[in-house]
């Protein structure tokens, strides 16, 4: 099957979206599909054709450039189906593909309108995005959502009816278990305190306020934060205010391989993203670290990766510093009482997390959409 994959995601940026696109297209190519990827940045991807796209700023300008290239692909290579990742400005790409009679399947990886609200976009601008995306969704053959709560967002806000939930995966070639002591030494973590680790883009959805208060109530526990984004200044302020007995270390933006090493260094890994589970918890599980996360749609999949007796996932129902502190305390106690997660259970969890699972299901869905 000839698949045209189009996304505004910048593959040069060190975030989950870029890794998602690269891993999924590579997995589709490994399964024998002829995949063409239209995206800015990034290097070669095994088995994936990558026309050179000018590196223009995200938004309407990038949308226009990608739409031009999509029109050329529709005319010259006639893909069987197009898979288009939704962004707030998605419209021109879908329009040109629709005009060329190329079946379009959309992918939604977050509650896009809610995210615009958290970024304090004007209500009028959000409404314009809503109306534009509703037209795009109406014209598509199908929509793929990364979780059930994202699917519900698509139903309620974008008017989607044909929706399939396909869980995202983890790049198991990078997210590998490792030696905790060596990883701590790599980061120069001081001996003595145990360390909880937060890795990821510091987006507004992270409840850093609750984390700061919870950490202040955890004497003798260090916190390391790895990543960059809008919350960086807040983390820097946490670092300055921390007590020497409970230090806060801020590593900032690092390559993905180094971020994985930070997870390996963790006594317990943290995910304080609210509203959407994201992908980081899956990487924590693939590396074999106990973790704390807020309970939300999608948490059940995370919790089911390991036997309950191992207490691998500690979910926080109440959005409060007290509840978050209690969960971190319980996770550290489980690590002390039960020891590290057994290697056999880590490998069993990893077997459920590769991108091949999503690629197989997605290919079948795209095949059906192309024949309708």
> Residue 351 pLDDT more than 80?
yes
Average confidence score pLDDT of the chain: 94
SS3 352: coil
Domains of the chain: 2-169+354-371 (3.40.50.2000), 180-350 (3.40.50.2000)
> Residue 15 pLDDT more than 90?
no
Task: Sort 19 into a burial class: Cβ within 10 Å, 0-12 / 13-18 / 19+.
Answer: buried
Average pLDDT over residues 205-227: 96
Average pLDDT over residues 279-297: 94
Average pLDDT over residues 22-31: 95
> Residue 297 pLDDT more than 90?
no
pLDDT band at 163 (very low <50, low <70, confident <90, very high): very high
Residue 275 CA: distances (Å) to CA of 149, 185, 204: 9, 34, 11
Average pLDDT over residues 112-137: 90
Tokens found for residue 99: 């005009």
DSSP assignment of 247-291: -EEEEES--HHHHHHHHHH-SEEEE-B-SS--SHHHHHHHHT--E
Task: Sort 332 into a burial class: Cβ within 10 Å, 0-12 / 13-18 / 19+.
Answer: buried
What pLDDT does residue 344 have?
A: 98
pLDDT band at 276 (very low <50, low <70, confident <90, very high): confident
pLDDT band at 289 (very low <50, low <70, confident <90, very high): very high
> Residue 14 pLDDT more than 80?
no
C-alpha span between 172 and 170 (Å, rounded): 6
Query: pTM above 0.75?
Result: yes
What pLDDT does residue 165 have?
A: 93
8 A C-beta contact, residue 277 and residue 206: no
> How many Cα atoms within 13 Å fall on the side-chain side of residue 168?
29
């Amino acid at each position: 099957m000839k698949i045209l994959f189009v996304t505004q995601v910048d593959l040069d940026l060190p975030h989950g979206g870029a890794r998602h696109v690269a891993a999924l297209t590579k997995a589709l190519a490994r399964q024998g599909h002829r995949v063409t990827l239209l995206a800015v940045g990034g290097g070669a991807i095994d088995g994936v054709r990558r026309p050179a796209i000018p590196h223009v700023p995200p938004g309407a300008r990038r949308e226009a450039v990608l739409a031009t290239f999509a029109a050329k692909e529709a005319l010259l290579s006639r893909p069987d189906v197009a898979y288009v990742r939704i962004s707030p400005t998605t419209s021109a790409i879908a329009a040109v593909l629709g005009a060329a009679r190329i079946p379009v399947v959309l992918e939604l990886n977050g509650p896009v309108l809610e995210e615009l609200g958290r970024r304090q976009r004007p209500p009028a601008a959000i409404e314009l995005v809503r109306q534009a995306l509703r037209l795009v969704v109406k014209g598509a053959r199908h929509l793929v959502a990364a979780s059930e709560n994202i699917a519900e967002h698509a139903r309620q806000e974008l008017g989607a009816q044909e929706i399939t939930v396909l869980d995202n995966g983890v790049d198991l070639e990078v997210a590998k278990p490792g030696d905790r002591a060596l990883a701590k030494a790599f980061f120069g973590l001081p001996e003595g305190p145990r360390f909880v680790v937060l890795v990821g883009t510091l987006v507004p959805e992270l409840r850093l306020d609750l984390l700061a208060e919870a950490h202040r109530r955890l004497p003798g526990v260090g916190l390391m934060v790895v990543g960059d984004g809008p919350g960086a200044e807040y983390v820097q302020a946490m670092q300055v205010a921390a007590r020497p007995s409970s230090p806060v270390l801020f590593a900032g933006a690092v390559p993905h391989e180094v971020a994985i090493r930070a997870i390996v260094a963790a006594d317990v890994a943290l995910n304080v993203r609210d509203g959407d589970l994201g992908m980081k918890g899956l990487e924590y599980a693939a590396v074999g670290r106990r973790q704390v996360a807020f309970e939300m749609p999608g948490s059940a999949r995370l919790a089911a990766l390991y036997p309950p007796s191992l207490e691998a996932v500690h979910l926080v129902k109440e959005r409060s510093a007290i509840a978050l502190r209690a969960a971190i305390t319980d996770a550290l106690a489980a690590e002390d009482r039960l020891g590290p997660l057994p290697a056999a259970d880590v490998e069993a969890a990893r077997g459920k997390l590769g991108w091949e699972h999503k690629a197989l299901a997605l290919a079948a869905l795209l095949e059906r959409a192309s024949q309708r």
